[in-house]
Amino acid sequence: MSLVLLLLLAGPAAATDVAGGHSEPAAVEPQADARRALLEELWQRRILPPDQKMWSPDDFELLERIRRAEDDALALLRRKAGGSRPWTAKPRPGSMAGAPRLTKEGYERYLFLLTQDAIDYFESKGAGAKDVFRLKDWDGKALFDGRGRITEAGSAVYLRAKLNREVFWRGGDGAAFGTRRPPKDP
């Protein structure tokens, strides 16, 4: 009992000494771990060179697009490009573990193949060769960008159309098309 009384009188420093001299472990900053993991993923996917330690908002946006498209991209690359191995990267030694991930080059190859397939599809649905690049989704977003590549909106329309799900798009002249009979304009 007297030991406890002495400890209370001595203050909190003495109480930690009696407990083995250990203080509370220092908190690990979760932000630093998250930043390091993100940097590792950017390196693994070859968005950043391995000696670069900072990323731009454009780099992060590209990473998000690659993540969203990864499953579809790997399936398309296996089907059309003779496999996904040249378009993926394994984790770096000593870094995060996991399955191979789609690289920036793989994503660009996927966009090229998807664009070619989408152009063929929309031409088969009556769009002329030049008119394909003026198509818009039902909300007015372009299906192809100024360089002729499919956009995210275009990808969403095309993939829904390929699955024969209900989706609509407009031609350059405003004509309505779709996998079902398009609704009447208000």
- pLDDT tens-place string over residues 3-57: 444 444 455 544 444 445 555 555 556 788 888 889 989 999 999 998 999 999 9
Whether the Cβ atoms of residue 15 and residue 73 lie closer than 8 Å to each other: no
Secondary structure letter of residue 69 according to DSSP: H
Look up residue 80 and give its two tokens. Answer: 């059309």
Write down the mean pLDDT value for the chain: 83
What is the average pLDDT across 159-179?
Answer: 91
| 26, part of any domain | no
What is the average pLDDT across 111-119?
Answer: 96
Residue 107's closest CA among 145, 63, 139, 140? 63
Chain centre to alpha carbon of residue 133: 25
Whether the Cβ atoms of residue 158 and residue 143 lie closer than 8 Å to each other: yes
Inform me whether the pLDDT recorded for 167 exceeds 70: yes
Output the pTM of the full model: 0.75
User: Which of the pair, 129 or 185, is modelled with greater confidence?
Assistant: 129
| 86, part of any domain | yes
| 42, part of any domain | yes
Same domain flag for 41 and 95 = yes
User: Which of the pair, 95 or 52, is modelled with greater confidence?
Assistant: 52
Secondary structure letter of residue 132 according to DSSP: G
Split at pLDDT 50, 70, 90, the class of 59 is very high
Same domain flag for 102 and 135 = no
Inform me whether the pLDDT recorded for 66 exceeds 70: yes
Same domain flag for 138 and 174 = yes
Q: What is the pLDDT of residue 63?
A: 95
Count the domains in the chain.
2
Domain interval for residue 133: 125-186
Q: What is the pLDDT of residue 92?
A: 64
